[in-house]
Amino acid sequence: GKHRHKGTVEDCCCDYETVDHLNGEVLHPILQQLVKTPFCRYYKVKLWCDCPFWPEDNMCRLRDCSVCECPESEFPDSFKPFQRTLSSDDLKCREGKPQAAVDRTLDSKAFRGWTETDNPWTYDDETDNSEMTYVNLQLNPERYTGYNGTSARRIWDAVYSENCPKYPAEELCQEEKILYKLISGLHSSISVHIASDYLIDEATNLWGHNLEIMYYRVLQYPNRVENLYFTFLFVLRAVTKTADYLEQAEYDTGNPTEDIKTQSLMKQLLYDPKLQAACPLPFDEAKLWKGRRGPELKQKIQAQFKNISAVMDCVGCEKCRLWGKLQVSGLGTALKILFSVNDEENLVQILQLQRNEVIALMNLLNRLSESVKFVHEMGAAAEKLVQGR
Ligand code: FAD
């Protein structure tokens, strides 16, 4: 049997069964192809560990700290000079494992035709590209990296307790609850990816599923599953809302055959008849920001989200930082689309997305789609495994 939640996804407009069905039939297959296209697979990102918080622990003394806190023997020559000035205690990043480092190999890059505009929802200056490197996402799948302990815990704690309001859920107004749910949904998705692609045996480099992790971190908390579905629908709504914009956008990477394919996959996704029939409005943002406090709330949540975005520079594992930054940027892009543009009629004229934002948005949607699929297909098996003990 498949893992099933019943009813409508809270605050959304579609039920779980419809989401599972549409994802399996339409969204997941198209997204899997789309993220492999040259347009979607290269992401421009500032990967430096450039953390504005916790200055006392020297976490980012090594600007590109891709290898820290590792045994002496693993220490790369280029970092040797630092050993004299920093004790090993100073090197707080936990990136010694090869699976935590980002593969920077590129086979082509040609980027044209997109505007460079800053997203007010995120901390990064998206227009500033002198510090950025291109990464081939296909070479760097989001999966188990071994990143954990106080460094990872500190990031999640900061994201939840500093940036999400602390009062009990029922006192939250709709809008603030949404920010919490988006973060929690993303967290669930990251945990599901760790569980679905886990290093089972380091000695033989054997990778596989770890269903216990999925159960103990996600499935045993129904809210975390709900938030995953919620976040998926929220991002899906952002994508379909911009259909006319994305249809007209430029997907030129200098490879006409591939670029035509990108455009056609985009169109298939944006205007899929099954999706439009079964879930035409995955999330209804028009219901939000209605009250008197609307504008003030929007500013507050924007500031909170910016902090969450800034905290991503403190993630002490390069590959986790890459996916953390990409997915938070994707969420920021979804927020910008849904909450910065009220005039849907003229969206194509008003909205300005830069290509990196579209890449983040589509890769985020694909990640969420993969997580929804994995939970749906493997959830029941995970429950059986754990409960059968
Ligand atoms: P954590 O996942 O660290 O959770 C901490 C606490 O948050 C939990 O105890 C719980 O109280 C709460 N919590 C957990 N899940 C939810 C949820 N869905 N909703 C609400 N609250 C929740 N590790 C990898 O192996 N690969 C990666 O690609 C990777 N990417 C990461 C990206 C970021 C941005 C961060 C901060 C960490 C990343 N990590 C990654 C580390 C990973 O997320 C965990 O922190 C780590 O595996 C330790 O897990 P844990 O069981 O201690 O709980």
Specify the pLDDT at position 212: 97
> Which pLDDT does position 277 carry in this prediction?
94
- So what's the ipTM on this one? 0.99
d(CA 258, CA 329): 25
Query: Is 317 designated active site?
Result: yes
Q: Is the pLDDT of residue 91 over 50?
A: no
Answer with the residue of higher pLDDT: 389 or 305. Answer: 305
Among 48-52, 101-105, 216-220, where is mean pLDDT lowest? 101-105
**pLDDT over 50 (residue 271):** yes
Of 24 and 96, the one with more pLDDT: 24
Q: Token digits for 256?
A: 């006409």
Q: In angstroms, rounded to a whole number, what is the distance separating the alpha carbons of residues 19 and 108?
A: 36
Which tens digit of pLDDT belongs to each residue from 296-318?
778 888 888 998 998 898 888 88
Residue 252 has pLDDT above 90, yes or no: no
Nearest to 323 by CA among 130, 145, 162, 93: 145
| Sequential DSSP letters for 90-145 | G------SGGGSPP---S-----S------TTSSS-TT--TT-EEEEGGGS-----
More confidently predicted of 256 and 89: 256
**CA distances to 48, 91, 122, 200, 327 from 61, in Å:** 11, 8, 24, 33, 25
With beta carbons less than 8 A apart as the criterion, state whether 277 and 56 touch. no
Atom 22, ligand 1: residue with shortest CA distance: 184
Distance, C-alpha 105 to centroid of its chain: 22
DSSP annotation string for 117-130: ---TTSSS-TT--T
Tell me the two tokens of residue 174: 């709709």
Measured in Å, residue 157 CA sits from the centre of ligand 1 at 10
**10 Å Cβ neighbour count for 55?**
9
207-220 tens-digit pLDDT = 999 999 999 999 99
How many angstroms from the chain centroid is the CA of residue 131? 21
The answer to whether the CB of 181 falls within 8 A of the CB of 160 is: no
Confirm if 214 and 371 have CB atoms less than 8 A apart: no
Least confident of 6-20, 61-75, 205-219: 61-75
Which residue did the predictor score with more confidence, 71 or 376?
376
The pLDDT of residue 103 is 66
Q: What is the DSSP string of 44-62?
A: EE--S----S-GGGTTTSS
pTM (2 decimals)? 0.86
Q: What is the pLDDT of residue 237?
A: 96
Terminal alpha carbon distance of the chain: 19
d(CA 338, CA 157): 27
Task: Answer yes or no: 320 catalytic.
Answer: yes
Angle at 184 between CA 182 and CA 186, to 5 degrees: 70
**pLDDT tens across 314-339, in order?**
888 888 989 999 999 999 999 999 98
Residue nearest to atom 7 of ligand 1 (CA): 156
Distance 326 CA to ligand 1 centre (A): 16
Return mean pLDDT, the chain. 80
Taking the C-alpha atoms of residue 383 and residue 389, their distance in angstroms, rounded to an integer, is: 10
Asked if pLDDT for residue 112 goes beyond 50, the answer is no
- pLDDT for 85 equals 34
In the reported structure, the alpha carbon of residue 184 is separated from the centroid of ligand 1 by a whole-number distance in angstroms of 10
DSSP lists the bridge partners of residue 201 as: 206
Beta strands in the chain (DSSP E): 42-45, 133-136, 198-201, 206-208
Pocket of ligand 1 (CB under 6 A): 142, 144-145, 147-148, 152-153, 155-156, 184, 187-188, 190-191, 194, 217, 224, 315, 319-320, 323-324
Work out which ligand 1 atom sits closest to the CA atom of 324.
34
1: DSSP letter: -
Query: Around 320, how many Cα atoms within 13 Å sit in the side-chain half-sphere?
Result: 30
**Among 322, 328, 353, 142, CA closest to 239:** 353
Give the integer Cα–Cα distance in Å for 303 and 323: 21
Q: How confident is the model at residue 240 (pLDDT cuts 50, 70, 90)?
A: very high
Tell me the per-residue pLDDT of 350-383, one tens digit each, with 9 for 90 and over: 888 888 899 999 999 999 999 999 999 999 999 9
Instruction: Give the residue whose CA is nearest to atom 12 of ligand 1.
Output: 156
Please tell me the residue having the least CA distance from ligand 1 atom 47: 148
**How many whole angstroms separate alpha carbon 39 and alpha carbon 375?**
28
User: Residue 98: its pLDDT value, please?
Assistant: 63
Beta strands 133-136 and 42-45 are antiparallel
pLDDT at position 342 over 50: yes
Q: What is the pLDDT of residue 384?
A: 94
Pick 100 or 110 by higher pLDDT: 100
Contacts of 107 (CB under 8 A, 6+ apart): 136
Which of the residue ranges 167-171, 253-257, 294-298, 304-308 has the most confident prediction, judged by mean pLDDT?
304-308
Distance, in Å, from the CA atom of 376 to the CA atom of 354, rounded to the nearest integer, reads 33
